[in-house]
Structure 1
Amino acid sequence: MSGVALVAHHEREAAADHAVVAADWCAAEGIDFWLTAEDGAAIGLERYVGKRPLADADVVLSLGGDGTMLRSVRLLDGAAIPLIGVNLGALGYLTEVEAHDLPSALDRFFAGPERGEWELDNRMMLDVAVNGTHVGQALNEAVIEKSQSGHTVRLLARIDGEPFTYYAADGLIVATPTGSTAYSLSARGPIVSPRHRAVLLTPVSPHMLFDRTLVLDPSEIVDVEVSGHRRAELAIDGQETALLDDGDIVRCRPSESSANFVRFGTYRYHQILKAKFGLADR
């Protein structure tokens, strides 16, 4: 049976109302609809909680903003399920439709890519491991940074197994092109089109002369080793993941999985960027 799963922002008042709109659309079309138990409890819609995993859905609706899109990707855990971002806040980089267009978006999706005039925007992700154990996937970035304020952390970066340099910095960001407009951008990293496949290595507040981002080939593997007595923390897409001690190694490599965003019509990333920064035509 066809199915639509929904992931909702827990603090947006409109989330519950629009979730019900999606549920009613699915009921009218004879399509299964469900929420996770966490989301159902958070927005007061326990009656729609289902036992099926998100990976069983034909499409996942992400109701919120870019943060909810990141959580949706994390919950899919690499499953190749199309994701429609429904915007409930300010202009985001990842969401695709406004909330009032949700029924139309579902009509078009289930009409198929040709009749519905949509396509998939496949975004590169990173597989992240600590000391050889897989700990998650990053759509935006993996960040290794200091765990104590007032101190830097010493990190050795290796590229394809070869030492590059030691960084004395607040941290290192290993980012995808999608993540180039997130934390990496605030650390003076470059903006990279999400159509590219690349790995960005951006230092955070480095206490050294070399303070530039490296833009690496997507086939290159980045290892970051904690060096010295000061502990570090690993965060993946903003989620604290692990505490790191001297000698611990974080490995970031391109994932075989991708995040698959539904795009209706032509997706023009640079126009979103222009609106975000208030850039004029002349």
Structure 2
Amino acid sequence: MTGPVELERLAVVAHHERAEAREHAMAIAEWCRGREIDFWIPSVDGDELRLGDHASDRPVAEADVVVSLGGDGTMLRSVHLLGGQAVPLLGINLGSLGYLTEVEPDCVVDALDRFALGAEAGEWHLDRRMLLDVSVNGQLVGRALNEMVVEKNQSGHTVRLLARIDGHPFTHYEADGLIVSTPTGSTAYSLSARGPIVSPQHRAILLTPVSPHMLFDRSLVLSPDEVVEIEVAGHRRADVAVDGQPQSVLSPGDEVRCSPSASTADFVRFGTYRYHQILKSKFGLADR
């Protein structure tokens, strides 16, 4: 067992529409002040929550830990702001039961105290989640914690997409779109498109069609080392989104590439992460 971690810099990413986010951000700022820890919040969050004294354009990736105040959406935003940097992310749940957050609001200060005591003292550990590098025509546009989606650009029409796996053509899809997801994202958009539920401790890539107009409508569960390429093969354009955020519009012949990232999303956990219990609660499953 060792002493406390060297916690010198802490950043908060907050949900703008959660009234309690300001209160908890101020409590975290006070906790940092008492320990001479450098504290800041992104300018857009500081402006919305009236925390201008703490607002900064400084990248959150410079922090020793990032605290996410919100729900799973805020956790996704925090991961994107980190830009693939290996910074521990502590999620404070200000929404309904989430898949990604760890701590309830009334336990914020206790969680920070435990984090400061250190992982080697057995107070916390990291839950490392797989990310996907997403490139459009060879240009990296983002890293997906949940999924990358290529979908139709025009309402009322399908889009024709060619899927390649490790450079080899698999098949053409006539569909509303294609989802390439991680195990973490298996309970997001992929699930609503009838994709399988995969434990987030697993490493895999899921390819799931959205409303396919063809007999083959199954998801594929691929090796985490395989690369998925999707080409717009028809005459209609398509949109690309990463974790729900629009990235670009594809023209016929354009291609999206999804590959396993060397980076991970590192979530702070204080005990055993019981994903199956969270899943059970989400779906209202009863004991048998």
1:172 to 174, 178, 182: 178
2:27 partner letter = V
> Residue 283 of structure 2 aligns with which residue?
277
Would you say 1:37 and 2:43 are equivalent positions? yes
Q: What secondary structure sits across from 2:95 in the alignment?
A: coil
Q: Distance in 2 between matches of 1:149 and 1:5?
A: 41
In structure 1, list runs of 5 or more residues that go unmatched: none
Q: Distance in 1 between matches of 2:122 and 2:68?
A: 19
Q: C-alpha offsets along residues 172-214 of structure 1, whole Å, 9 cap, x if unaligned?
A: 0000000000000000000000011100000000000000000
Deviation at 1:246, TM superposition (A): 0.2
2:267 partner letter = F
Equivalenced residues, count = 282
Deviation at 1:29, TM superposition (A): 1.2
Q: CA RMSD in A?
A: 0.9
Deviation at 1:114, TM superposition (A): 3.4
2:67 to 61, 72, 75: 61
Q: Distance in 1 between matches of 2:33 and 2:58?
A: 17
Q: C-alpha offsets along residues 91-120 of structure 1, whole Å, 9 cap, x if unaligned?
A: 000000011100011000010013352100
> Residue 206 of structure 1 aligns with which residue?
212
> Residue 70 of structure 1 aligns with which residue?
76
1:25 to 5, 28, 31: 31
Q: What secondary structure sits across from 1:4 in the alignment?
A: strand
Deviation at 1:7, TM superposition (A): 0.1
Deviation at 1:50, TM superposition (A): 3.0
> Residue 189 of structure 2 aligns with which residue?
183
Q: Distance in 2 between matches of 1:183 and 1:254?
A: 19
Deviation at 1:166, TM superposition (A): 0.1
Q: Distance in 2 between matches of 1:154 and 1:53?
A: 39
Identity %, equivalent residues: 68
Q: What secondary structure sits across from 2:53 in the alignment?
A: helix
> Residue 265 of structure 1 aligns with which residue?
271
Would you say 1:243 and 2:236 are equivalent positions? no
> Residue 234 of structure 2 aligns with which residue?
228
Q: Distance in 1 between matches of 2:75 and 2:265?
A: 10
TM norm structure 1: 0.99
1:216 partner letter = L
1:123 partner letter = R
TM norm structure 2: 0.97
Q: Distance in 1 between matches of 2:287 and 2:36?
A: 47
Q: Distance in 2 between matches of 1:139 and 1:29?
A: 33
Deviation at 1:52, TM superposition (A): 3.2
Q: Distance in 1 between matches of 2:106 and 2:58?
A: 27
Q: What secondary structure sits across from 2:28 in the alignment?
A: helix
